[in-house]
Copies of this chain bind each other. A is one copy, B any other.
Amino acid sequence: MCATCGCDDHSHEQGGGVVIDLEERLLARNDHLAGHIRDWLASIGVRSYNLMSSPGSGKTTLLERTVRELGLPCSVIEGDQETTFDADRIQATGVAAVQVNTGAGCHLDAVMVRKALASLDPAPGSVVFVENVGNLVCPALFDLGETGRVVILSVTEGEDKPLKYPHLVRTGDVVLLNKVDLLPYLDFSQDRFLRALRQVNPHAPLLPVSARTGEGLADWYAWLSR
């Protein structure tokens, strides 16, 4: 009899090993395909950026401005569980966008990105932005063949998020701190945030921005164009 819940079903004490084996196989398969994507994008001179954040951190608003203001040809892959809202917003700027709906899924993977890239057919020398599903956990594990990873946190989420979600935050090649226009109305210390960030990601540039007002975006465009 199960010692804790008192039932005769021992199965909920077991199964961890099978799950871990399967996860490793899935991730290895994803990494393999991501390698192909990376090689192919490099061969045609396309850079791609994987944007990862919580839901509502301002990824799409950032991209609406970026594709208009960056001064380079762009296209966008939008990931969401449901709706085409984000692809519609990008297309309204005149830039090509493909929406990927993950259904119950919690992240984009390399298979989804490969299919979206086949549809987008990005021009040589252009930039592809991949807006991941809003989630500070699961996207961390899935290589999408990107040139760089962009972690976006917003000031409304609090200073402790780098320490609470270290697995994703430490993978960022750049970290944007968004919604700084709201700082006057919040109890948020940029110093405490920076200390928390540096504990998990010592080197990524930190760029305070407001996708709504445009504050700080010149630094973001400079980072993308470096």
Contacts and interface: CB of A to CB of B under 8 A. Distances in A.
A198 interface: no
Interface residues of A, number: 62
A141 B157 CA distance: 24
Given A54-B56, A54-B134, A164 B81 contact: yes
Given A15-B25, A25-B15, A85-B163, A55 B7 contact: no
Contact of A136 (B55, B111, B186): B55
B56 A158 contact: yes
A25 B29 CA distance: 23
A1 interface: no
A168 to B, nearest CB: 9
A187 B163 CA distance: 30
A36 B160 contact: no
Pick the 8 closest A-B CB pairs, nearest first.
A56-B157, A106-B137, A5-B36, A156-B156, A12-B29, A54-B55, A54-B54, A12-B33
A71 to B, nearest CB: 27
B56 A30 contact: no
Interface in A125-171: 133-138, 140-141, 154, 156-158, 160-161, 163-167
A111 B187 CA distance: 36
Contact of A55 (B40, B114, B161): B161
A83 B163 contact: yes
Given A54-B55, A55-B165, A166-B82, A138 B9 contact: no
Contact of A81 (B32, B40, B106, B167): B167
A26 B19 contact: yes
A6 interface: yes
Nearest to A167: B104
A222 interface: no
A47 interface: no
